[in-house]
Structure 1
Amino acid sequence: MFPYMIGKEEAGPYRSATEHCLKKLILKDFEGIAKNSGAVFETEHSTITLNSLGQSVSVKLPEGKIVFNGTDYCPVLGWRIIILNYLFRADNAHLTGQLVSYRELENGHVFYPAFLRESVNLLIQKFSSEPAEQIKNVCRVFGARLEDKADICAVFEFFPRFPVTVKLWLKDEEIGGSANILFDANANHYLDAEAIAVTCMLISQFLIKQYDMMYKK
């Protein structure tokens, strides 16, 4: 857990959206939620615990308070809302192993400009001229699995059944840098396109902040 991951407990202007997600969630069977999402339900404490970006987070039900496991610290608000959406939407669909682009997701074309602006373009601007090994080291902080499918290809387990693949190609003397973010073909079984765009924004922001912490002191 890093300082930039911690948010205020208050939901502010997003309170109604948070409460709406929670009201839908608590109508479901908690053990079923855990099974469908790859999380763990602890009956004694009435909490659902799951891993996200190398962090263990707990959701206390029915009140819906979300904290980093073993602490009183809340993840940033956008992260909390996505967690509630993931738990509600998860249907135990198996990973296909087939990667798809954001625009191939249901309604992906609607939020594509925001997805591009708030995630892909940020990654290109920040990392296209940075050393590959340093970028890989930052990805490892979040538990990413590195693959040899680009200059940097990192697979992040944002949730147990929701991997996010980030690919970066560094610029050279002839070609500018580029980036792409891909998803398993079953992604919409777990999050809608809008929530996925926020997910990618968080990954991009966290990578940039962690990189600055490690290498821009």
Structure 2
Amino acid sequence: MVKVAHVQLSSCCGCLVSLADTYEQLLDVLGAIDLVYSQTLADVREIPDDVDIVLLEGSVCLSDHHAMEVALESRKKGKILVALGACAASGNITRFSKGNQPSKPVHDSFAPLTEVVKCDLAIPGCPPSPESIVAVVLAALNGDMEYLEPYAELAKYGSEACGCDLIVKVINKSLCMGCGSCAAACPTRAVSMDAGRPLVDKEICIKCGACSVQCPRIRFPELIEKIE
């Protein structure tokens, strides 16, 4: 049975709730995984060696030595390291942290996991849906690299993913086709459609990357030469 570890850093536990909601599919029905570590769901004090998949949620507090050690340990012990959720994948609301205020830990400096260690996959969303977690885990178990390609792209190039990408990479280049996928994916309704084009309210955008991942017109320039 495949060994899976769930690691939590600076997050709101929303990704943990989504992971718990996958139990009926991943554990009870399929028996696909053995959850060998989770601070909340398993009575284990240390991440075991040779874990097949590590699901790490939350961003990394750069001034917290323990958080940095956990991130490095997760990379070392996990054959596949997955940045679970927007905080780990792209920074999410922790991108708005002010920094240099040690008296208020909530205002310390944070970075997404994808900028601290090499991640194999990143699952966006705030939180990601249980269905997306199941789909990625099963694809990883089956070696379905075609399905995992966009998640691998996000892990490698998408740490700045936010509503601003829609403006810079799509709208300003007249590439938007008005499909509305970005607005439908936005968990905070920061993206709305007006006359067939998305409008991004940067005041309520949390930089989760959901709109960027869903947009069929956004491509990372390092991967292809043009947008068809």
TM-score by length of 1: 0.30
Of structures 1 and 2, the one scoring higher in RCO (CA 8 A, sep 6+) is 1
Greater helix content: 1
TM-score by length of 2: 0.29
